[in-house]
Structures are given as structure tokens and as C-alpha cells.
Structure 1
Amino acid sequence: MHSAVLLIEFGAIILALGLLGRVAGRFQFSPIPLYLLAGLAFGTGGVLPLGASEEFVAIGAEIGVILLLLMLGLEYTASDLVSNLKTQYPAGIVDCALNAVPGAAAALLMGWGPVAAVVLAGVTWISSSGVIAKVLGDLGRLGNRETPVILSILVLEDLAMAVYLPIITALLAGVGWAAGGLTLAIALGAAGLVLFVAVRYGRLISRFVSSDDPEKLLLVVLGLTILVAGIAQQLQVSAAVGAFLVGIALSGEAAEGAHTLLAPLRDLFAAVFFVFFGLHTDPASIPPVLLPALALAVVTACTKIATGYWAARRAGISVKGRWRAGGALVARGEFSIVIAGLAVSAGIEPSLGPLATAYVLILVVAGPLTARFVEPVAAFVSGLSRHRDDQGRTQERPPADRPEERAPAAEPLTSEVIDVD
């Protein structure tokens, strides 16, 4: 009987997610907010709380995080990452300073303590690579000059996750400075080792993994990823970081084939992950934090636009491209929820989960709209400003065809010349 109820509940969840995905596709926006709302509806305090399938959904959610980071790692080669680190690291520093500080400050102002401040800093810092990539594709901007700048910032954020997640894991576990430093050293050492191996021996690794049989390729890549993620978690390093490093190590045909095969699985389990996060958030806890979440969303939307504008200006992009780069970076999504989910599981601050949910819901909806309209809005405002300046200059300098408004200096100069003659 228990297995039958589990199948019914899980089947209903998957069916509902599929229908919600269709609705989002019909109106051309990200389905993430709908998945979060579905989790709120099925969770504690929701319309139809689930019981039997919650443990199964939790496992699916963990696999979803692993696949999200694996697929992200597959997007980049080790040489791309090294190149981005060398050329775009100032943009990464500005990005961290402008967008992490508001989250940390908000947590401290609300009296949540330093650990929650570090967590909320990550929530407000990291943009949603998935949402941004989809928006750029939908708007036909993948070939624009500002797009490499956007992708560079996203890559640097993803690399920062390899350092940030172990720090968060250690802080949430309450370990001491020695254990925390050891965890960070292991994470940095693992990341450096993987990058070195990927640069020097990436072709050999890809050749070992690659297979003409899609079934064998899928099993090897998925098994390797979950194995490395489990080892990373056993070493007190985030499983998501381990999956990300596996993705970086693969390249060429192996990466392309794995990306094609794993994309549907990624979408399935990522949707389950967002539902699982919503299951652990009581809808009644969101209204009290809605205003802080809205204020934080407005502030960090502006700081993300400033980040993209500055980075694009540094790269020599035109003014329109600078605004487009800034607007594209506004969306938050999967990474913010991943970071908040770690804190919720550790029971750090009860209001952190609802605040992160409301924050992501606001920006995952506003992000695509900002990407689409920030450049024309900026052009319109700039046009109004130029028009007012032109009007002001016109009023200060009257037309010269009216005799009483001509410059008086012309007549004395003419008279003086006549007198000389």
C-alpha cells in the first residue's frame, strides 16, 4: 500500500510539473517560479500536503543539484576557465562586492548572525546561469558582442562556488577553524588538481569516457559523477562542487554527447529539486518577509545591472550593449535556492528559507523582463534627458532673426570698423 501511494504522489508531482512547464513555455518565461509554487502547494501548510513520497523526492532533489552543476561544468573547458580567470577577474571582484554585500548587510540588519549573513550573501550574489542562457537564446543575443562578457561573469561565479560551497558547508556544520581550513584546502586542492588534469590530460579522460553507444556513455558519465559527488561530500566538500569538477574534466565529443543525453534528466530532477525546496517552506511564512525580499530584490537588481554595465564598458562594448549585459544578469534561480537549501537543512534561521523563496520568485520573473527592456528604457530616458538639455540650451540662446534679441556686441564692432575707415 505504501509503495502504491508513493507512486501515485510522485506521478502526480511529475505530471503537474510537466503541465506547469507547458504553461511557462506558452508565455515564454522560466518555469522555476511555478515549480516553487507547486512545492509550496504540496508542502507543509499547503493546499495538499504530501507524506509518502517526501523521502523519495528528497533523493531526487539531491540528484537534481548534482546534475545542474555537472551540466554547467560541461559548458566550459578547462582552458576557457583559465583564460577567463586571467582576463575577467576584475569583473568577478566587482560582481562579488556589489552583490554579496547587500545580502550580508540585510541578514545582519535583521539580526540573523554572521553565518546567515554569509549564506544570504551567496543567495544575492550568484546569478542563474540556466535562466540567463535561456533568455539570451530566446532574445537571439548569443552572437552579440556583450554575450562573452556575460558568460565570463557567470563562469567566474561558478568557479567561486567551488570555494564558497565548502566554506558554507563547514560553517553550517559548526566545525572549528582548523577543520574549516582543512575543508577549504581540500576543495581548493581538488579544484586545482582537476583543472590541471583537465588541461593536460582532458583528451585522454574524454576518450576513456566516450562511447558510440548512448546507453554506455550515459551510465559511465552519470555513475562517475554521482561517485565523485559522494566522495566529495564524504570529505566535507559539497557534492555539487564534485559534480561541477567532473563536468569541467570532460570535453570534446564526450562532453557534447553527455550534454545531449543528460539534458532531459537534468530538467526532470532540477524541477524535483525546486519542488522539494518549496515543500520545506510554509506559505504562511512568506508574507512577513515579502517586503524585505522585495527591497533586497530591487537593490540587487540595480547592483547586477551596474556590474554588467561596468564589465561591458571595460571590454569596450557600446552603451546599448552595456545596458543589455547588465539587464541579462539580474535573474537569480537555482544557485540561490541551492545555497538557501543548505541553510534550511542545517536549521540556521527559520526565516531564511521563506526570504530566499520570495527573493528568487521575484527576480526569476523580473530577470527576463529586465533583460528584454532595460536597454530600450535606458535609451528612452537618455533621449528625454538629451531633449531637455537641448530645450534648455535653446531657451538660453534665443534665435538671432529677431532684431531685439540679437547679440549687442555685433553693432559696436561694426560701428568701430566704420569709424576707423
Structure 2
Amino acid sequence: MGGAFLAAAVLARVGSRIGLPTIPLFILAGILLGPHTPGIVLVADPHELEMLSALGLVLLLFYLGLEFHLDDLKTGGRKMAIAGGTYLALNVGAGLGFGFALGWGTSEALVLAGVLGISSSAIVTKVLVDLGRIGNPETKPILGIIVVEDVFLALYLAALQPILSGADSLSAAAVDGGKAFGFLLLLALAARFGTRVIGRLINTRDDELLVISFLGAAVFVAGVSEWFGVADAIGAFMVGLMLGSTTSGERILKLVHPLRDAFGAIFFFAFGLSIDPGDLPTVLWPVLAAVAVTLAMNVLAGLAAAKVYAFGPQATANISTTLVARGEFALILATMAAAAGLDERLSPFIAGYVLLLAVLAPLAAGRSHWLARVLPGGRGRGKDSDSEDGAGKLPVPA
């Protein structure tokens, strides 16, 4: 554990001196010190960090929920649904078409639709924090799209599981999907109507008790969510959404910060442990083609979201580049595909695709002004000229 933290810290410190984002460096530390590369092996079995990695994801999404206030959902629900639905239609549709074009099989194409279609909540959150964009106007639509994706994710996994397992019972898939949707609805109702009661229960002047209370609530609801077939991350997000609107919200936001950073680093480190670089050359061209498809679809989705919200070119570029990352969900699908005995090329393909976008996404998001210049209305505009979109904000440390 200590070696994992220190390795991530050393690489991140070196990278920060030359302007590299921390996320790909945390991942690189996991690759270099994992079982698939020569030299020192800190962690021989990636599953040894599985619980800590899951905690990192839970805390990242819990923090995201704290920042995403209920008022944002009340006032922008329709726009959020349109933007998120458009994003999914473009990216999941392109992923399905790409999967069929590869010719690896129908089940494989359905898996690739999810791999190419769903953004990484963890990486998107980290990018927003690292670049100091939490307060930007385009961040609310970005978070809204993530929420819509997570709702879709619960239903998609429920429908995909019986297909991969060879089950032919449509009723079983419908029951699983209904159970997941029902639990999501219950969490949404609690967030909408139970905030006052929850605020009274969580409120305390003692910081120690407050930390234990919100951490227990986030992790417990995340675990129950997973049991109901909903991603644990969305359960944690909903708890953050509830607690962020209470009188203790500001204190919780401050207290969770170091926990989020520490365990978030372990999440990305553990991600790197699962990647075997030796498998990547066999799927190089499909990976590059998939990355090109994803970049194109994200630009189109960014333009569509910007039209819904009437944003300028810089905010459009921020949306397009921030949502490019793929991560934890794609790895879950890789594990499911391997267990189902699908095409053996899927696992290295997903690993290479996710790794490449995990590196590209933070770099692209930090240089989104380059894209803004070539978007409609952005010709000749400088990096800081679109101030209403938050382009002139300087990155702040997480």
C-alpha cells in the first residue's frame, strides 16, 4: 500500500513539472509496478487492491454529488435528459456499429457498444477538479450527462447480463432492470423529499463523527446499490446529492477532500495493474480506429449539448474533451466478456482503448482551447477570449 501511494506520488510530482495531468501517471505507476511488466512487482494480484479501488471510485462520485446540487436537477432536468440522451445515442450507436464492423460477433458488438458509449465518471470528475472547472457553467451539463449515463448503465447491465450468460429469459432481464430502476427511483425520491430529515440525522459539531457518518452512509448505500443491480458509484453520487443540500454540506465537502484524493489515486493505480502491455500490439489498429470514432462522436455530442444550453465554442470544446475518457465501466465489461468466453481479443482491445483515452482525455481537456478555435464561431479566438465559458480560469490543485 505504502509503495503504491509513494510510486503514484513520485511519478505525479515528476509529471507535474512538465505539465502532465496526474491521472495517466497514476495509471502508469500501476503498469510499471504490476505483474505484467519486468522489474519490481509491488502488487502481484490486482484483486488485492479491489476494495480500496472501489472506495476510491465511491469517494470520487460522492464528491461529485456534493457539488451537483438538487436545484440543478429541478431547474435543468429536461435539458439534462436531452443532452445525456443525445450523447448516449451518438456514442452507444457508434460503438454498436463499430462492433459489428469488426466482425467479432453479436455479443461482442453489444459489449463494445457499452465500452465506446459510456464515459468514465472517475476520470471526468478528476479532470474537472484538477483543471479548476467545477464552477464553470458547462460543468453542470457535463455532470448531468454523467448522471444520465449512470442511469442507462444500470439498465444496460441488467439487459446485457442474461445475453452474456446465455440466458434466454426475457422476463428475468426485465425483472433485473425493473429492480434497478425501482431502487434508482427510491434514491431520487429520498434526495427530493428527504433532505431535511437526512440533514438532521447527519448534523453534528464534531468533525470526527461527521466524517464517520458521511463515509458510512456513502459506502453503505453504494454497497446496497450494487446489490440491486445499480452501479455502486451512482449510489454514492445520490448520497452526495442528498448531503450536499444539507446544512452540513460545506463542511462535508471540505472534510472529504483528502480522502477523495488519496483513494482516487489508488483507483487509478489499480487500473494500471490490470493492463498487460504485451497484449496491446495485437489490437493496435482497432484501438486507434475506436479512439478516432470516440473523438468524433464526442465533438458532435458537445455541439449538441452546447446548442441545448446556448454555449459558446470554448464551453463546447470543454464538454467534448472532458467526456472523452473511458475507464471503470469498460473494465467491468472486459471482465464480464472474459467470464462469458467471448472473443479473446476483447480484453486487450478494451485495455488499450481505455489506457489511450485515459491519457488523451486529461491532455485534451487541458488544451480544449485548440478545439474551440476550429469550432463554429471560434475562429481566431484566443485561449482566454471566451471568458463567459470559463476558458480563462487557471487550473487549481485538487
TM-score, normalization: structure 1?
Answer: 0.76
Match of residue 394 from structure 2 = none
Q: How does 1:50-61 map to 2 (within 5 A)?
A: 50=42, 54-61=46-53
Match of residue 217 from structure 2 = 224
Name the aligned partner's letter for residue 48 of structure 2: F
Name the aligned partner's letter for residue 283 of structure 2: V
Name the aligned partner's letter for residue 306 of structure 1: L
Deviations 1:260-316 (A, max 9, x none): 223322333233233333333322111112221121111111110111112212332
Deviations 1:355-396 (A, max 9, x none): 23322332233224433545445636989999xxxxxxxxxx
Q: Distance in 1 between matches of 2:259 and 2:303?
A: 35
**Rg larger for:** 1
Name the aligned partner's letter for residue 160 of structure 1: F
Name the aligned partner's letter for residue 197 of structure 2: L
Q: Distance in 2 between matches of 1:106 and 1:87?
A: 28
Q: Distance in 1 between matches of 2:238 and 2:130?
A: 28
Taking structure 1 as reference, are residues 91 and 379 closer, same or farther at Cα in structure 2, changes over 3 Å only? same
28, 35, 40: which is aligned to 2:31? 40
Name the aligned partner's letter for residue 36 of structure 2: G
344, 352, 356: which is aligned to 2:346? 352
Q: Distance in 2 between matches of 1:349 and 1:260?
A: 46
Q: How does 1:300-339 map to 2 (within 5 A)?
A: 300-337=294-331, 339=333
Taking structure 1 as reference, are residues 168 and 75 closer, same or farther at Cα in structure 2, changes over 3 Å only? farther
SS at match of 2:194: helix
Match of residue 97 from structure 1 = 89
Match of residue 239 from structure 1 = 232
Q: Distance in 2 between matches of 1:153 and 1:283?
A: 32
Match of residue 387 from structure 2 = none
Query: How many residues are treated as equivalent by the alignment?
Result: 377
SS at match of 1:250: helix
Deviations 1:128-168 (A, max 9, x none): 45544555566666665544444433343344344445445
Question: Contact (CA 8 Å) 1:336, 1:356: kept in 2 or not?
Answer: yes
Name the aligned partner's letter for residue 18 of structure 1: A
Question: Contact (CA 8 Å) 1:277, 1:341: kept in 2 or not?
Answer: no
Say whether 1:127 aligns with 2:112: no
Range moving further from structure 2, 145-154 or 243-252: 145-154
Question: Contact (CA 8 Å) 2:57, 2:122: kept in 1 or not?
Answer: no
Shift of 1:208: 0.7
SS at match of 2:68: coil
Q: How does 1:16-415 map to 2 (within 5 A)?
A: 16-47=7-38, 48-50=40-42, 54-129=46-121, 131-132=123-124, 135=127, 146-168=138-160, 176-251=169-244, 252-337=246-331, 339-340=333-334, 343=337, 348-376=342-370, 379=373
Taking structure 1 as reference, are residues 284 and 27 closer, same or farther at Cα in structure 2, changes over 3 Å only? same
Gap regions ≥5 residues in structure 1: 1-9, 387-421
Q: Distance in 2 between matches of 1:82 and 1:342?
A: 36
Shift of 1:14: 1.8
Taking structure 1 as reference, are residues 171 and 68 closer, same or farther at Cα in structure 2, changes over 3 Å only? farther
Shift of 1:188: 0.9
Question: Contact (CA 8 Å) 1:170, 1:183: kept in 2 or not?
Answer: no
Q: Distance in 1 between matches of 2:235 and 2:128?
A: 28
Taking structure 1 as reference, are residues 380 and 39 closer, same or farther at Cα in structure 2, changes over 3 Å only? closer
Q: Distance in 2 between matches of 1:384 and 1:225?
A: 42
Deviations 1:7-65 (A, max 9, x none): xxx32222111212223433343322222223223333322345667553122122223
Deviations 1:150-196 (A, max 9, x none): 44333433443444454455655665433322221111111111111
Tell me the C-alpha RMSD between the 2 structures: 3.4
Deviations 1:230-269 (A, max 9, x none): 3333344443333233223323343333332233223332
Question: Contact (CA 8 Å) 1:30, 1:131: kept in 2 or not?
Answer: no
User: In percent, how many aligned pairs have the same letter?
Assistant: 37
Q: Distance in 1 between matches of 2:61 and 2:88?
A: 20
Question: Contact (CA 8 Å) 1:106, 1:117: kept in 2 or not?
Answer: yes
Name the aligned partner's letter for residue 272 of structure 2: G
Name the aligned partner's letter for residue 363 of structure 1: L
Q: Distance in 1 between matches of 2:11 and 2:341?
A: 30
SS at match of 1:286: helix
TM-score, normalization: structure 2?
Answer: 0.80
Taking structure 1 as reference, are residues 207 and 273 closer, same or farther at Cα in structure 2, changes over 3 Å only? same
Q: Distance in 2 between matches of 1:238 and 1:131?
A: 16
Q: Distance in 2 between matches of 1:194 and 1:383?
A: 41
Question: Contact (CA 8 Å) 1:30, 1:364: kept in 2 or not?
Answer: no
